[in-house]
A and B are shown apart, each in its own frame.
Chain A
C-alpha cells in the first residue's frame, strides 16, 4: 500500500513516514507543502492520503476540495491541531474520511490508516479470506489451508494488495505504483521475482499437506496478475465497485 503524507513540519513528517513504513509496511511519499501534495495526488497511485491542515502554499482543506472536485476517491485522513466541532464538520463535509487531532497517538494513526485503506478497498474486516487463503493484515500473517506461510515483507505486501482485489487483473505497473514510493527505482522484473517467489511459497504449502497443486495467482502474460481466478462470482469476497470495469474472468479457469 502506498501512502501520501502531506505535512510541512519536517520532524513530524519524518516520524510519521518511518512509523508507516516500519509498522504496516506502507510505501510513503512525503510532500512538504499543499501544492506539492496536490501534484503528487494527481498520480492517483495512493491508497491513502494523510493530510495536515495548516500547510504553506495550499492549505489542507483546499487541497481536499480540489481532490474531491476531480472525483479522486482516495481515502483522506486529516491531521489537525484545531479543536471544535465546526472545523471537523466542515472537514468531513468537504470529503475527509477521518481525522486525528494533534498531538495524536502513533498507534492510533496507524490503525486508522489501515482501516481507511481497508474500507477504501471494500473490506470491513482486517482478516481477508479467499479460497482457503487467509491474510491477517493486523499480524501480517498468511495461512493457506490451515498451514502458516512464511513470506518476506515485500511478498506479503504483494499478496495483501492482490487479496484486496480478487479475480481482478492487477498490472505490474499498478503493483509497482502501490508498493513502492517514488524514491524506488522502478524495475518491473522486481515484481516478477517477488510474485514468482510468492506463488512458489503458497503452492509449497499445498504440496506439504498433500493437497493437489492449485495455482492461486495466475499470470496473464503482458497484462498482469490475478488472484483466485477460480473464485465464483457470488463468493463472500465480492468484487469492489472499481473492479466491475475490469474484465470478468470466465468461470472454472
Chain B
C-alpha cells in the first residue's frame, strides 16, 4: 500500500518539477530582486512600489523574494556560490564591503543618473575604490529616548542635543534614586555602541593604512570604562536585574517605565507608541564630541546579471523615486536616503516622538563604522571581550590589549 502511494508520489513530484515555468513574451525582461527589509510587515508596500515601476516600464517584470534577516546573508551567499545570484539585492553596509572586495558587484557609475537626489554621504558609503557599487536605499540612526514622566518625578531638566555620557549619568543617578524598580539609563555595552562611543572619544580602531590595530590606546580604554561605568551605582540595570523585570527586552524595559533613558534606534518609534507615559527623543549622547550612528542599507546589482540596464533602472526607482520614498515614509518603512526635505514633512509631522527633527540633526555629526574584510569576526570578538569586562573577568585595558592582538591577526 505504502509502496504504491510512494511511487505515485514520486511520479507526481517529478511531473510537477518538470513542467516548465510559463514563458513570457519575447521582449519582457524579468529581474529577480532579493531582500530582507520587506518581510514580514512591508510586503504590500514593496508590491506597491513594484507595481508603480512596472507601470512605467511595461517590458520589465520584477520577481521579488525574501528571507528572514538573520539568514539573509547566508542564503545570498549560497546563491552566489551556486553561480546564480539574484539580479538585484539588498545589502547592509557592513556586508557590502565584503561583496565589494570580492568583485561581484556591478559598477553602477555609468548607469547612475547624476541628478538623483541621494544624500551625498549615503552615496559615498557605497562607493568602493572609486566605483559606485551600490545605491543607498535607506538610512537609520540611533537616538536617546527619554521618559518625560520619570524626569518630571526626579525634578530634572529634559536632555538636550548636547548631552554627554556624563550628563546622562548624573541624571541617571537621580532617576535611579526614585525607587527599586527604576533605573536611570539603558545604554547597551556591545560592539554597536562601542564603535560609536569610540569615534566620539577619538579612539581609533586602526592605524592609517589598516595594517595594525590601535584599539588599546588610552582613549579607547577610557571609552570602555565610561560605558561600563554606567553600571556603577545602579544607574544602569545589569542583565540579571533587567531580566527579572520583564522578558529582558530593551523595548519592554522602556515601555513599562522601568528606565529613564534608552539608547536605541529610530525604528522603535512605532513600537513605543502604546507607552502610557510621555516620551521624546534627542540626538544621541556624545563624549569628547558628538557622533551619531549611521546605518544604511544599499541595493546592489550582481556583476553577472544579464540585464544590467533594466536592473539599474529598478535599483534607482526603488531607492530614489518619489513613489518609493512616499510609500516608505507613509508606512514607517525606514527612511529613504534622499536629500529631499519635502518628502520628510509627513514623517516629521507624525508623533510620538515630537522631536523627530533630532533624527536629521543626528546626521550633522556621524560616527563612521570601522569596517574590515573579516568584519563579523571582529564584531564578535569585541562583543565577547566587552562582556568579559562587564562580568568583571577582565579590566578594560587587558580586554583591549587582547582585542588588539586578535584584530591584528584578522588584518594579516
Q: Do they bind each other?
A: no
Q: Which residues of A contact B (CB under 8 A)?
A: none
Q: Which residues of B contact A (CB under 8 A)?
A: none
